[in-house]
Structure 1
Amino acid sequence: MTLVATLVSNPSAPAVDETVLAAARAALPVPAEATVLAPGVAADLVFAADGAAAADGPAAGGAIRAIEDAVRAALRGRPIDVFVQRAAGRRKRLLVADMDSTLIGQECIDELAAELGLKPKIAAITERAMRGEIAFEPALRERVALLAGLDAGVVETVWRERIREMPGAATLAATMRANGGYAAIVSGGFTVFTERVAAALGFDEHNANELIIEAGRLAGRVTEPILGQDAKRERLHALAARFGLSLSETLAVGDGANDLAMIRDAGLGVAYRAKPAVAAEADARVDHGDLTALLYFQGYRAAEFAGG
């Protein structure tokens, strides 16, 4: 069996140099061959699995994670993401992505709250929900209720003035689609934003909660049932079934506790700039790179990226 350790830095601050590659090689249990995916930005170290890492079952996963931890420790805090996995089946055919704080840098509900001077109050609830300290569904109802009476036209203002896409988001979607994949946004946010983000980033579809608007103003309610953690997981499974894919062929990415179920079930579950509980359970974590890290984890070279 062959394993691959992928090292990724942020494209704006390349850090994967020969010194880094040498340190990572020294931490691996057997010699490894290096393949540069993007000069200074990303590289693969390919090596043969041995011992527990070559076996089947939970013990193999633990052994592979131990190798990953050893490589990360050898890099001594450098701003480099590390992911070790089996080389077979790296490329995925379905991308399911969270939106807020994943594909975009903001939480849309917090930015709507800013229009009422309520951002600190609502953002504090959002943070607790994303950390898994409180249940998502009642937290969403509570926050939306505080927006009652807000002019619905402010959505366009917030979209235009406050929302910014995460670096690499459009390239991620475009590259996977160019290679036969399907890209879906599955968000606990709102359709008034996911429809705009999906169009801007080139996603095939979007799923989110629907804000109820009455007489041109937010009613302070969303259509039930709320799209939360269980619904995200169900959407991952439904999309895989639609395209005849096994879950091993899927990729899910998110940052908050309501993303955990789909991250656990996906063939590759990625915690992107995530809350600690999410990072601890995901297959891979991205703390330093941009969203193109998810392409490097799949073995794409920068020269293979589609325009995003």
Structure 2
Amino acid sequence: MAHHTLESRLPQLRLAVLDVDGTLKQAESPYRYLHRRLGVADLAAPNRELALAGQINYAEWLRRDAALWAGQPVRKLRRILAENPYLPGAPELLAALKQAGVVVALVSAGFTLNTDPIVAEFGLDYALANELTTVDGVLDGGAINHVPEGGKAAFARALMTDLGIPPEQTLAAGDTRGDLELFACAGLRFAVNPRSTALRARADAVFEPDLTGAVTWLTERGYLPQESANQRISESANQRMNE
């Protein structure tokens, strides 16, 4: 882990807006993860190539990918997504933030089937992600794009305005160039295994290969209270050992 020290810049955190895939969860893309697990990676490859070449926009890419999963039971996808593990240190970070009274929001260009279980597990406050549409518990091949380009920043700014929380008390975390817009909103920025040199350069702390040490980083600098963070980390570890 590398970091820059900012001890005098920020008061205690009140809001954390976190990317999910590659930041909290190990798979960098839930789309590629599902394509691989469902055996449609070869069919999905042309969609990715067209999108990266700028020949289709993100909404169309989402629509085409979702169409490949038509007919799949929601229950099956939930099970597959649950098998995508957290990055080490991510559960402890989420638990410590909540224990300290920080408002925690997830924002993902993935989908709600992936974010909803995290919200439920840790009692998080907000989440925004794209939505796969269903009929009678089965994917119908449709999708609703709730997180368009620029959508992460818009979500973060709306939360900050509604809650009256300034950038100086806001943490953002991400792993790709697409999270730069999120970094622009926050006073404290975590890059997790950054796949973008620009994101790495903008980060106040870089965590590699995982989030182990993130809670310590925050508590040592006064962004989280030491006592409550330690208590919640211990509770989280015990709970997960008993699962």
With normalisation by structure 2, the TM-score equals 0.78
Bigger radius of gyration, 1 or 2?
Answer: 1
| Paired residues of 1:94 and 1:183 also in contact (CA < 8 A) | yes
SS at structure 1 position matched to 2:128: strand
Report what 2:179 is aligned to: 259
Correspondences of 1:138-287 after superposition (within 5 Å): 138-160=60-82, 162-224=83-145, 226-276=146-196, 277-287=198-208
- Stretches of structure 2 lacking an aligned partner (at least 5 in a row): 237-243
| Structure 1 vs Structure 2 CA RMSD | 3.0
| Paired residues of 2:92 and 2:215 also in contact (CA < 8 A) | no
Report the alpha carbon displacement of residue 289 of structure 1 after superposing the two structures with TM.
4.8
Q: How many residues align?
A: 225
| Paired residues of 1:150 and 1:217 also in contact (CA < 8 A) | yes
Q: Does 1:92 align with 2:92?
A: no
Cα separation, 1, equivalents of 2:108 and 2:45: 17
Report the alpha carbon displacement of residue 296 of structure 1 after superposing the two structures with TM.
0.6
SS at structure 1 position matched to 2:16: strand
Report what 1:119 is aligned to: 41
Report the alpha carbon displacement of residue 122 of structure 1 after superposing the two structures with TM.
4.1
Report the alpha carbon displacement of residue 233 of structure 1 after superposing the two structures with TM.
0.7
Report the alpha carbon displacement of residue 164 of structure 1 after superposing the two structures with TM.
0.9
Once the two structures are superposed, what CA deviation does each residue of 1:200-259 show, in whole Å capped at 9, x if it has no partner? 2342222211101135432222124x3134221111112112221111110111112332
The letter of the residue matching 1:261 is E
Give the structure with the higher percent helix: 2
Once the two structures are superposed, what CA deviation does each residue of 1:40-89 show, in whole Å capped at 9, x if it has no partner? xxxxxxxxxxxxxxxxxxxxxxxxxxxxxxxxxxxxxxxx4222325231
Q: Does 1:109 align with 2:31?
A: yes
| Paired residues of 2:89 and 2:210 also in contact (CA < 8 A) | no
- Stretches of structure 1 lacking an aligned partner (at least 5 in a row): 1-79
The letter of the residue matching 1:188 is A
With normalisation by structure 1, the TM-score equals 0.63
In structure 2, the CA distance between the partners of 1:251 and 1:121, relative to structure 1 (3 Å rule), is farther
The letter of the residue matching 1:265 is C
Cα separation, 1, equivalents of 2:87 and 2:11: 23
